[in-house]
């Protein structure tokens, strides 16, 4: 199990780091400055014939490097959809959680993928409509009947101690459930895979990776908990570009393309309430 995606599920999505906070603040300051020289982003893309899209390349199944050494994943497929709508070549810009807001503010990227919408971020960037689900979920073997919180009664569940996963399942689990807490996500996952516990709580991104890599354990997603969908992040005051991105997402959802991408990479249908 690749440790990077698991760690990112907890740290990037749950606890905002000081570096990320500083990046948001810097991005906000840059976005607030008037720039007569900066033309409309959609015009710039049309003129250059290229759209630069910031993606993670160490965050499977949303973005990673494939056997052919090329980027692959949910976000890569969505980036290509956007490029097709804009009639532009897609230039994937590799970003990290610490630098990506600054990349957007500095126009090193025209947009970012896998951005969770928060009040703090809304102050400095704009968001498309959601295009991908991100949520915490209970996972377990198909043979174990669990469909709701009530079904956790008498079951053993692994979580990483002190994470949102821990807080979420502790809040809804019946008193008879046994929650086993581990020092890190890898410990919680290993406990599930080795049979020490019956269930585990992880992000749907991590869950999808486990489903793909450990078919012998016959795991499946039982039900979801905390939800924070992914959006495309854009610089403020770019309404034409935002409209194009929203149109791309809406069309892909309507014609089933986005659901196919979700099935391919997350091994689950696109949620109806996304």
- Per-residue model confidence as pLDDT tens digits over 53-78: 999 998 889 999 999 999 999 999 99
On whether both 59 and 187 belong to a single domain, the answer is no
CATH of the domain at 255: 3.40.190.10
| CB count in 10 Å sphere of residue 45 | 21
Residues 218 and 153: beta-carbon distance below 8 Å: no
- The residue with greater pLDDT, 28 or 256, is 256
On whether both 129 and 143 belong to a single domain, the answer is no
Residue 92 counted as domain residue: yes
Burial class (CB in 10 A: 0-12, 13-18, 19+), 143: exposed
On whether both 165 and 127 belong to a single domain, the answer is no
Residue 274 counted as domain residue: no
Q: Which domain holds residue 202?
A: 135-227
| Count of structural domains, the chain | 2
Residue 273 counted as domain residue: no
- pLDDT score of 86 more than 90: yes
On whether both 115 and 153 belong to a single domain, the answer is no
Give the model confidence (pLDDT) of 137-187 as tens digits: 999 999 999 999 999 999 999 999 988 899 999 999 999 999 999 988 889
Burial class (CB in 10 A: 0-12, 13-18, 19+), 46: middle
On whether both 214 and 161 belong to a single domain, the answer is yes
On whether both 92 and 31 belong to a single domain, the answer is yes
On whether both 129 and 247 belong to a single domain, the answer is yes
- pLDDT score of 269 more than 70: yes
Residue 50 pairs in a beta bridge with: 89
| CB count in 10 Å sphere of residue 49 | 10
Is the preceding omega at residue 61 within 30 degrees of 0, hence cis?
A: yes
**Quick one: pLDDT at residue 136?**
92
């Amino acid at each position: 199990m690749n440790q990077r995606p698991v760690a990112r599920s907890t740290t990037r999505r749950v606890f905002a780091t000081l570096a990320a906070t500083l990046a948001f603040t810097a991005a906000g300051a840059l976005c607030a400055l008037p720039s007569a020289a900066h033309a409309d982003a959609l015009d710039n893309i049309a003129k250059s014939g290229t759209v630069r899209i910031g993606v993670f390349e160490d965050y499977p199944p949303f973005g990673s490097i494939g056997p052919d050494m090329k980027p692959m994943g949910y976000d890569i497929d969505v980036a290509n959809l956007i490029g097709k709508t804009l009639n532009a070549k897609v230039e994937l810009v590799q970003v990290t959680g610490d630098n990506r807001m600054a990349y957007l503010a500095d126009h090193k990227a025209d947009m970012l993928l896998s951005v969770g919408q928060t009040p703090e971020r809304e102050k400095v960037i704009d968001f498309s409509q959601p295009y991908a689900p991100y949520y915490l979920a209970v996972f377990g073997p198909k043979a174990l009947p669990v469909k709701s919180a009530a079904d956790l009664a008498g079951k053993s569940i692994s979580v990483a101690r002190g994470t949102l996963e821990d807080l979420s399942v502790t809040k809804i689990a019946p008193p008879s459930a046994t929650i086993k807490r581990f020092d890190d996500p890898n410990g919680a996952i290993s406990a599930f895979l080795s049979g020490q516990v019956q269930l585990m709580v992880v992000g749907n991104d991590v869950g999808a990776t486990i489903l793909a890599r450990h078919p012998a354990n016959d795991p499946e997603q039982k039900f979801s908990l905390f939800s924070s969908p992914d959006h495309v992040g854009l610089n403020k005051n770019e309404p034409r570009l935002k409209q194009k991105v929203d149109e791309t997402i809406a069309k892909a959802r309507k014609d089933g393309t986005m659901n196919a991408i979700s099935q391919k990479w997350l091994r689950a249908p696109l949620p109806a309430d996304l």
